[in-house]
């Protein structure tokens, strides 16, 4: 075997949120001298402001490190991955670029549902799993029990797993030694034509769209003419290649087995599709890499510009975000209340929250999001089957024969004292209990069949508050089931506010309608006239509130001819109104939509 | 000859009322004398015989507090510096406790032909709450003195929406104001201005505010009662018997020109709005250096002119004269503001008739919301 390849290890880290993934990554970067101590900020790889703040990893970030063991210098490529259920897609992308995965398990909490999902994903990709028990400094740490759990639940040997504390810098070198000993070196043929997997891409204003790649075969260097196998006809000249440490560093050449980036003055982001294979234009490889399974969005929401933000600003921002988050999809939508915007599909609620926050922070946009919904199957009386994710597109009741909604297999892990609370909650949300397993004295697993629709509304928040944050939740789509669904409309002064329409189960409609009208009464300011707020299903009013009219708004005095001040007061008042949304004659503050759609 | 109104500000009070956020100072006699000197200097600075004053208004503060002869000197200076229309309306604001028959004779000799007297309420409990320096008995005596001295054009200020005020109180206040001989009544709703003792008392919870609905009902009570007494509302807060509408006020609503003298006085002349300093010392310093004491200048643009036209005209009962508007702004009002006109007229907030667009009298209480539709 090629000597160079033998000294390369490509690996990622799989862990539950909070189990110390980013902290361990920091330690590895530190111990290998990749960054000087003074250059280290906490959680180096979580470069997005949002990632640091929430303490989660959203984007994947590769880092090349050098480490000497037993007199041999090894090239280690770490690809940091997100931990949350919504980002399974991102995880699968990085897994395809690695030969091994470090599995971090919290020495106190043991294996979590989420960890399992990612471990299975890693095993499917034939990755070598290296278990590591972290947080051994905590008083609650019980490494022996946790190791046994790993062996029982996952079926891999764990008794020799390094016991470390990333936070306290204990035993970090043992992790690297385990990686070198257990992760197989990459395979590949340096003499073969270039075959490189794009596992991520990002846009650089100077260099254009940049592909993050794992070279499977061959090599690439500046001056090469390349093509993307899914984008026939176009060729690009490689301007720069390099690796991440963790900032991009140009190098002379990227060879098989290595992880790095290729800049080739690609103007159009669409031309660097994640999962695509890069090869040489004049000496292409025979077959493309399998790429990734396309993931389908499960949560949908409208996103509309608000305040000073323009439709085109929002479109540009979404285009940029999609560049490195191909799981985000969107299409133009227009709403009578909110104007021109986008219908967006997300992998889950967290994914949606992250996108919304990134739009607001990184692009400084003001936006309104409508209530998250799922995609329903509608069978019409004429025999058609429609997929409806936007309540406005639901056909007339008389045209609907029957409807189906997506269900999920939901697992909740919780300390035993909260089981009652969780059962209450799940039943109230139409959950059907399938199984309750007492794993050990401190943990119970509850399995439910649950409509996805009920989870995305406010289930997660309610779960957290009913279990003081101890319960964790995981779910996967199990399929569609027939359901009695209705469209709930909100009328303001007699006019439908399309942005507030939702599709709900018949049994939950009254409760939802009442909650929405009550909340609207709180957030809609008094207007010149009375505003009746009605929740309506197919013409039948199920809840009603009224916002009274303004009684007094008058500048009684016009003291000493100070006209300018009066005019400015009115101009200011008018300016405030401009930020409002107009539904018929009713003026609604933008944030009212958000307040109504958020749960109490 | 250019027509203009003249405003003169006397910024002195015995003490500030508890709801007042206007420019006034509780100063001793030397400061008052010094101020009158400065005021005369400012009048001289801006003297222009080509300007013909149609109205003069001496406001405050409390103009009746300072020496009547000083007021007369200022008026003399105005007469010497500007042309004055023969039937010019000359108003002086007064508080009941400082207005005497003797002072009135001096004012009258100096040309004052209209007195604006602050009553606010006939109930002493409310006068105390507001921190007014007088009681109802003093008001009665002062009003009698005005009529006795031969000034028939008497205006009285009253207030509604006071904490604890009831409709019955207010009706009685209106009646007492009318019976005092007033031919013009200004009725203001209490505005709790930030920084005033009354506002502080309400925000800290020691005093219960009169709520919006109750205050609005009181506004209607005033309107109804005065109508019965033969008064008509010609502007949001102003009511008059026929022929006694304040010309000085009306000049503001029709965007007529005016010159303001004294601290915190405003002028509007030649398409420019000016604001004088609010600081007594700065005022004196600057006029002593033969400088105008102006701290803010705004030159009208077609846009601000139009907004002000709409805002001011809609305050009046007559509203916007659509022909006059078209002549000034070279466009059709109804066409320009079609959606707003349709919405407002359609829901009865404004009326369109006789070539005028005006706020329906039932909806003066939300005039800001209506005016803002045309901004």
Buried/exposed B197-206: b ≥16 CB within 10 Å, e otherwise: ebbebbeeee
Between the alpha carbon of residue A545 and those of residues A462, A493, A514, B347, the distances in Å are 26, 11, 9, 21
Among A515-529, A547-561, B4-18, the minimum mean pLDDT is found in A547-561
Task: Please tell me whether residue A540 adopts helix, strand or coil conformation.
Answer: strand
**In terms of domains, do A466 and A505 share one?**
no
Q: Describe the strand order of the beta sheet including B294-299 as a list of residue ranges.
A: B232-235, B238-240, B184-189, B153-160, B114-120, B82-94, B48-60, B2-10, B258-261, B266-269, B272-276, B294-299
Query: Taking CB atoms and an 8 Å cutoff, what residues of chain B touch A558?
Result: 249, 252, 315
Last residue of a domain, one of A151, A182, A213: A182
| pLDDT the model gives residue B136 | 96
Q: Which positions ≥6 away from B128 have C-beta within 8 Å? A: none
Kindly report the three-state secondary structure assignment for every residue of chain B: CEEEEEEEEECECCCCCCCCCCCCECCCHHHHHHHHHHHHHHHHHCCEEEEEEEEEEEEECCHHHCCHHHHHHHHHHHHHHEEEEEEEEEEEEECCCCCCHHHHHHHHHCCCCEEEEEEECCCHHHHHHHCCCCCHHHHHHHHHHHHHCCCCEEEEEEEECCCCCCHHHHHHHHHHHHHCCCCEEEEEECCCCCCCHHHHHHHCCCCCCCCHHHHHHHHHHHHHHHHHCCCEEEECCEEECCCCCCHHHHHHHCCCCEEEECCCCEEEECCEEEEECCCHHHHHHHHHCCCCCEEEEEECCHHHHHHHHHHHHCCECCCEEHHHHHHHHCCCHHHHCHHHHHHHHHCCCEEEECCEEEECHHHHHHHHHHHHHCC
Q: How far apart are CA B58 and CA B64, in angstroms?
A: 10
DSSP helix/strand/coil, A219: strand
Residue B268's closest chain A neighbor by CA? A561
Query: How many distinct structural domains can be found in chain A?
Result: 5
Rounded to the nearest angstrom, the minimum Cα separation between A369 and chain B is: 28
A213 and A243 together in one domain: yes
Q: Boundaries of CATH 3.80.30.20 in chain B?
A: 2-253
pLDDT tens, position by position, B295-327 = 999 999 999 999 999 999 999 999 999 999 999
In this predicted structure, what is the pLDDT of residue B154?
97
Describe the crossing of helices A113-124 and A143-154 by its angle, rounded to 10 degrees: 50
Given pLDDT bands bounded at 50, 70 and 90, which one contains residue A362? confident
**Nearest beta carbon to residue B9 from set A560, A573, A574:** A560
Q: How confident is the model at residue A86 (pLDDT cuts 50, 70, 90)?
A: low
DSSP string, A191-211: TSPPEEEEEEEEEETTTEEEE
Domain holding A513, by residue range, is: 486-597
Could you give the 3-state DSSP secondary structure of residue A309? coil
| pLDDT reading at A241 higher than 70 | yes
Strand partners, A380: A400
Helix B101-109 / helix B68-81 crossing angle, nearest 10 deg:
10
**What number is the average pLDDT over the span B35-63?**
96
In this structure, what CATH number is given to the domain that contains residue A355? Answer: 3.30.70.870
| Residue B114 to residue B108: CA distance in whole angstroms | 9
> Quick one: A103 and A140 in the same domain?
yes
Residue B26 Cα, gap to closest chain A Cα (Å): 20
User: Percent helix, strand, coil in chain A (nearest 5)?
Assistant: 30, 35, 35
**pLDDT confidence tier of residue A491, bands split at 50, 70 and 90:** very high
Contacts of B190 in chain A (CB under 8 A): none
- Report the SS3 class of residue A120: helix
Residues A12 and A29 in one domain: yes
Confidence of residue A37 (pLDDT cuts 50, 70, 90): low
Find chain B residues with C-beta within 8 A of A572's C-beta.
Answer: none
Average pLDDT over residues A578-590: 81
C-alpha A429/C-alpha A564 separation (Å) is 57
Task: Give the dihedral of Cα atoms A225, A231, A232, A236; nearest 10 deg.
Answer: -20
pLDDT digits (tens, 9 = 90+) for A275-290: 889 999 999 888 888 7
The DSSP letter of residue A123 is H
Is there a domain that residue A188 lies in? no
Does A26 share its domain with A143? yes
DSSP category for residue A21: H
A528 with B188: Cβ contact below 8 A: no
Q: What pLDDT score does A600 carry? A: 40
Q: What mean pLDDT do residues B30-40 have? A: 95
State whether A518 and A580 are in the same domain: yes
| pTM tops 0.80, yes or no | no
Read off the CATH number of the domain in which A411 is found: 3.30.70.240
Q: What is the pLDDT of residues B192-209, one digit of tens each?
A: 888 899 999 988 888 888
Question: What percent of chain A stands above pLDDT 90?
Answer: 32
pLDDT for B40 beyond 90:
yes
Q: Is the CATH number of domain B2-253 3.80.30.20?
A: yes
Question: In degrees rounded to 5, what are phi and psi of residue B309?
Answer: -60, -50
Among candidate residues A269, A275, A289, A271, the one with its CA nearest the CA of residue A232? A271
Instruction: State the average pLDDT over residues A223-227.
Output: 93
Residues A26 and A108 reside in one and the same domain: yes
Q: Is residue A292 part of a domain?
A: no
**Backbone dihedral region of A254: left (phi > 0), alpha (psi from -120 to 50 degrees) or beta?**
beta
Domain annotation covers residue A150: yes
Asked whether B109 and B79 are in contact (CB, 8 A), the reply is no
| Of A171-175, A301-305, A438-442, A481-485, the least confident | A438-442
The helix/strand/coil state of A72 is strand
Residue from the list A554, A558, A577 with its beta carbon closest to the beta carbon of B364: A554
Residue B170 has pLDDT above 50, yes or no: yes
Is pLDDT above 70 for A294?
no
Residue where a domain stops, chosen among A182, A214, A243: A182
On whether both A490 and A475 belong to a single domain, the answer is no
Chain A's closest residue to B367, CA to CA, is: A554
Weakest-pLDDT range from A13-22, A445-454, B63-72:
A13-22
The enclosing domain of A546 has a CATH number of 3.30.70.2570
Which chain A positions have a beta carbon within 8 Å of B9's beta carbon? Answer: 560
Same domain for A343 and A427, yes or no, is no
Q: Same domain, yes or no, for A136 and A121? A: yes
Between strands A208-217 and A195-204, the pairing is antiparallel
Dihedrals phi, psi of A4, to nearest 5 degrees? -65, -45
The rounded distance, in Å, linking the Cα atoms of A274 and A93 is: 8
From A280, A310, A342, the end of a domain falls on A280
**CA-to-CA separations, A409 to A88, A432, A446, B61, in angstroms, rounded:** 16, 10, 10, 76
pLDDT at residue A280 in the model: 92
Based on the fold, state whether residues A153 and A26 are members of the same structural domain. Answer: yes
pLDDT at B210: 87
Cis peptide before B270 (omega within 30 of 0): no
Q: How far is A347 from chain B (nearest CA, A)?
A: 43
A111 assigned to some structural domain: yes
Strand A72-80 and strand A61-69: pairing? Answer: antiparallel
CB < 8 Å to B365, chain A: 551-554
> Quick one: A176 and A70 in the same domain?
yes
Q: E strand or H helix at A471, and its extent?
A: none
């Amino acid at each position: 075997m090629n000597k160079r390849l033998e000294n390369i290890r490509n690996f990622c880290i799989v862990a539950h949120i909070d189990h110390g993934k980013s902290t361990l990554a920091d330690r590895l970067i530190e111990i290998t001298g990749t960054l000087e101590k003074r250059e280290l900020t906490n959680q180096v790889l979580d470069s997005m402001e949002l990632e640091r703040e929430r303490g989660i990893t959203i984007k994947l970030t590769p880092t090349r490190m050098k480490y000497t063991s037993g007199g041999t210098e090894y090239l280690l490529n770490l690809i940091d991955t997100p931990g949350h259920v919504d980002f399974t897609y991102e995880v699968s992308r990085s897994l395809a670029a690695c030969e091994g995965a470090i599995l971090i398990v919290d020495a106190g909490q043991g294996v979590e549902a989420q960890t399992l999902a990612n471990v299975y994903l890693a095993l499917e990709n034939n990755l070598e799993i290296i278990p590591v028990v972290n947080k051994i400094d905590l008083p609650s740490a019980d490494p022996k029990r946790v190791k046994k759990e790993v062996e029982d639940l996952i079926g891999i040997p764990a008794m020799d797993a390094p016991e470390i504390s990333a936070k306290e810098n204990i035993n970090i070198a043992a992790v690297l030694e385990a990686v070198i000993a257990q992760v197989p070196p990459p395979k590949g043929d340096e003499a073969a034509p270039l075959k490189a997997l794009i596992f991520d891409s990002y846009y650089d204003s100077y260099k254009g769209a940049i592909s993050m790649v794992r070279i499977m075969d061959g090599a690439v260097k500046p001056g090469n003419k390349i093509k993307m196998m899914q984008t026939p006809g176009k060729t690009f000249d490689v301007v720069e290649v390099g690796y991440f440490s963790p900032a991009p560093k140009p190098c002379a050449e990227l060879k098989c087995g290595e992880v790095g980036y290729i800049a080739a003055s690609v103007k159009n982001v669409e031309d660097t599709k994640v999962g695509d294979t890069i090869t040489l234009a004049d000496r292409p490889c025979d077959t493309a890499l399998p790429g990734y399974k396309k993931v389908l969005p499960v949560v949908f929401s409208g996103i509309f510009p608000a305040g000073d933000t323009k439709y085109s600003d929002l479109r540009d921002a979404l285009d940029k975000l999609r560049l490195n988050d191909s799981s985000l999809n969107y299409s133009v939508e227009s709403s009578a209340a909110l104007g021109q915007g986008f219908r967006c599909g997300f992998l889950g609620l967290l994914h949606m929250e992250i996108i919304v926050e990134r739009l607001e922070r990184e692009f400084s946009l003001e936006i309104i999001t409508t209530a998250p919904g799922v995609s329903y199957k509608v069978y019409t009386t004429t025999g058609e089957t429609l997929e409806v994710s936007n309540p406005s597109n639901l056909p007339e009741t008389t045209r609907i024969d029957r409807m189906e909604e997506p269900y999920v297999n939901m697992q909740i892990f919780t300390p035993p004292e909260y089981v009652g609370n969780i059962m209450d909650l799940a039943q109230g949300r139409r959950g059907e209990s399938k199984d309750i397993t007492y794993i050990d004295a401190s943990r119970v697993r509850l399995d439910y069949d649950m409509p996805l629709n009920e989870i995305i509304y406010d289930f997660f928040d309610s779960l957290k508050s009913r279990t003081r944050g101890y319960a964790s939740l995981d779910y996967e789509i199990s399929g569609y089931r027939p359901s009695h669904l209705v469209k709930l409309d909100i009328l303001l002064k007699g006019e439908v506010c399309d942005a507030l329409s939702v599709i709900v189960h018949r049994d939950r409609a009254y409760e939802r309608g009442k909650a929405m009208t009550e909340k609207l009464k709180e957030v809609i300011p008094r207007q010149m006239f009375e505003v009746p707020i009605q929740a309506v299903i197919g013409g039948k009013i199920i809840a009603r509130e009224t916002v009274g009219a303004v009684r007094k708004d008058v500048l009684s005095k016009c003291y000493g001819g100070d006209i300018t001040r009066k005019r400015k007061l009115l101009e200011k008042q008018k300016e405030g109104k401009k930020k409002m949304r107009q539904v018929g004659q009713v003026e609604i503050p933008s944030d009212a939509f958000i307040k109504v759609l958020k749960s109490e | 000859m250019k027509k203009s109104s003249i405003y003169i500000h006397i910024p002195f009070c015995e003490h500030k009322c508890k709801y007042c956020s206007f420019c006034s100072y509780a100063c001793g006699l030397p400061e008052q004398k010094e101020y009158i000197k400065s005021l005369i200097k400012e009048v001289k600075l801006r003297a222009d015989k080509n300007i013909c004053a149609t109205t003069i208004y001496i406001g405050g503060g409390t103009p009746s507090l300072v020496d009547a002869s000083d007021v007369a000197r200022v008026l003399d200076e105005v007469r010497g510096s500007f042309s004055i229309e023969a039937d010019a309306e000359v108003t002086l604001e007064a508080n009941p406790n400082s207005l005497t028959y003797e002072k009135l004779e001096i004012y009258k000799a100096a040309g004052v032909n209209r007195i604006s007297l602050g009553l606010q309420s006939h109930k002493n409990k409310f006068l105390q709450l507001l921190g007014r320096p007088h009681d109802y008995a003093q008001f009665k005596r002062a009003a009698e003195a005005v009529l006795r001295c031969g000034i028939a054009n008497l205006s009285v200020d009253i207030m509604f929406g006071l904490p604890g005020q009831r409709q019955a109180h207010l009706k009685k206040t209106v009646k007492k104001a009318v019976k005092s001989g007033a031919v013009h009544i200004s009725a203001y709703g209490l505005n709790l201005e930030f920084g005033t003792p009354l506002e502080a008392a309400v925000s800290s919870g020691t005093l219960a505010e009169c709520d919006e609905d109750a205050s609005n009902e009181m506004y209607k009570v005033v309107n109804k009662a005065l109508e019965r007494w033969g008064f008509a509302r010609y502007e949001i807060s102003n009511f008059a018997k026929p022929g006694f509408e304040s010309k000085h006020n009306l000049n503001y609503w029709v965007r007529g020109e005016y010159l303001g003298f004294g601290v915190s006085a405003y002028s509007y002349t030649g398409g420019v709005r000016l604001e004088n300093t609010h600081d007594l010392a700065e005022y004196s310093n600057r006029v002593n250096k033969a400088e105008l004491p102006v701290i803010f200048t705004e030159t009208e643009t077609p846009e601000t002119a139009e907004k002000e036209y709409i805002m001011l005209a809609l305050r009046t009962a007559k509203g916007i004269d659509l022909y006059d508007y078209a002549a000034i702004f070279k466009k059709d009002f109804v066409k320009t503001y079609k959606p707003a006109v349709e919405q407002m007229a359609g829901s009865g907030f404004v009326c369109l008739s006789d070539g005028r667009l005006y706020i329906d009298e039932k909806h003066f209480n939300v005039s800001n919301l209506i005016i803002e539709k045309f901004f």
